[in-house]
Amino acid sequence: MNLKDTLRKHGFACSKRYGQNFLSDPQLLRAIACDGACAQDTVIEVGAGAGTLTRALCDMGANVIAFEIDERLRPVLAETLAGTSARVIYADVMEYELSSLAAGKYRLVANLPYYITTPVIFRFLYDPNLLSMTVMVQKEVAQRICAAAGTAAYGALSAQMQVMGNVKIVREVPRNMFLPAPDVDSAVVRLDIAPLCRSTLLPSYRKAVAAAFAMRRKTLANNLTAAYSLSKAKAEEIVQAVCGNRSARGETFSPEQFIALAELLDGK
Ligand code: SAM
């Protein structure tokens, strides 16, 4: 039975509020499953929806734990995931205590609900058990995640994700592949975890990045002055020490430069 018929049979109407834009094309689902995981991997999926991606992951041999916030999907998922080993947790992933899953090392694979794309990414990004993250997001968000320093799309999200490993867009997905079709095109981004800095520096790195992009039009030194209660001269001295230009803006700073900046700010 196709997705439309299954949803109709259960009297299910997709909810905008929960970002319910489902995938049904078997070839695309298989491809996304392979983009994100291999047989035997433990996979956490955020948003099982009608279970189409969950099933594709199970079919390739992954052990899937899927979150779904919408209890109305229980009967749909009972049907579409019958015979698989998928475990569905009916809960808000933002509220759930992830450590209680005792999942060990895992990969995140998800067609994310767009209204909470960034919070979900940050929910998992620094989890020491995360091996990789393969997520469908709005195409424009995917481009921001993967943007190089100094380009218009580069920002806090790019720097925060790129410090955790290698990011790349692995697939673009046009809006007409979803049911119902959203207003924007999408892309699948994969992050392979390989942190560029030690984990103890990450809080300082995050603070420095947040400060750098607080006011995009200001120089980095000016932004640091505000966030760290530094004199302008001291802030300029630190920026100069990292990049040789005291008037540099945050958007020109690579993740490696933010690491150097965080180290200097830590020791100030
Ligand atoms: N994986 C399915 C697919 O690819 O067709 C569904 C993807 S759909 C874009 C996102 C799903 O996430 C929806 O089923 C929605 O109900 C669920 N969802 C939304 N917010 C959630 C939350 N906070 N926690 C868990 N699931 C959530």
Residue 196's pLDDT is what? Answer: 96
Q: Is the CB of 165 under 6 A from ligand 1?
A: no
Q: Tell me: the pLDDT tens digits for 67-124?
A: 999 999 999 999 999 999 999 999 999 999 999 998 899 999 999 999 999 999 999 9
For ligand 1, atom 24: residue with the closest CA: 92
Q: Given ligand 1 and candidates 20, 81, 136, 185, which is best to mutate, with the most ligand atoms within 8 Å of its CB?
A: 20
Q: Is the CB of 94 under 6 A from ligand 1?
A: yes
Q: Is the CB of 46 under 6 A from ligand 1?
A: yes
* The Cα angle at residue 160 between residues 38 and 220, in degrees rounded to 5: 160
Residue 179 to residues 20, 29, 82: CA-CA distances in angstroms?
Answer: 8, 13, 22
Residue 267's pLDDT is what? Answer: 72
How many Å apart are CA 261 and CA 72, to the nearest integer? 48
- Joined together, the tokens standing for residue 171 give 């697939």
For ligand 1, atom 23: residue with the closest CA: 92
How many Å apart are CA 62 and CA 65, to the nearest integer? 10
Q: Is the CB of 18 under 6 A from ligand 1?
A: yes
Ligand 1 atom index nearest CA of 54: 1
Q: What is the chain's Cα-based Rg?
A: 21
Q: Given ligand 1 and candidates 2, 3, 14, 18, which is best to mutate, with the most ligand atoms within 8 Å of its CB?
A: 18
Residue 117's pLDDT is what? Answer: 97
- Joined together, the tokens standing for residue 204 give 């300082």
Q: Is the CB of 56 under 6 A from ligand 1?
A: no
Q: Is the CB of 113 under 6 A from ligand 1?
A: yes
How many angstroms separate the first and last alpha carbons of the chain?
Answer: 64
CA 95 – ligand 1 centroid, Å: 14
CA 94 – ligand 1 centroid, Å: 12
Q: Is the CB of 74 under 6 A from ligand 1?
A: no
Q: Is the CB of 21 under 6 A from ligand 1?
A: yes
Residue 216's pLDDT is what? Answer: 86
Neighbours of 176 (CB within 10 A): 9
CB 53 within 8 A of CB 88: no
Say whether pTM exceeds 0.75: yes
CB 41 within 8 A of CB 19: no
Secondary structure string (H, E, C) spanning 181-233? CCCCCEEEEEEEECCCCCHHHHHHHHHHHHHHCCCCCCCHHHHHHHHHCCCHH
Q: What is the pLDDT along the chain (268 residues), one digit of tens a residue?
A: 799 999 999 999 999 999 999 999 999 999 999 999 999 999 999 999 999 999 999 999 999 999 999 999 999 999 999 999 999 999 999 999 999 998 899 999 999 999 999 999 999 999 999 999 999 999 999 999 999 999 999 999 999 999 999 999 999 999 999 999 999 999 999 999 999 999 999 999 999 999 999 998 899 999 999 899 999 999 999 999 999 999 999 999 999 999 999 999 987 6
How many Å apart are CA 155 and CA 143, to the nearest integer? 11
Residue listed under structure tokens 């640091």: 224
How many Å apart are CA 153 and CA 146, to the nearest integer? 9
* The Cα angle at residue 36 between residues 31 and 39, in degrees rounded to 5: 90
Residue 268's pLDDT is what? Answer: 62
Residue 236's pLDDT is what? Answer: 97
CA 25 to chain CA centroid, nearest Å: 23
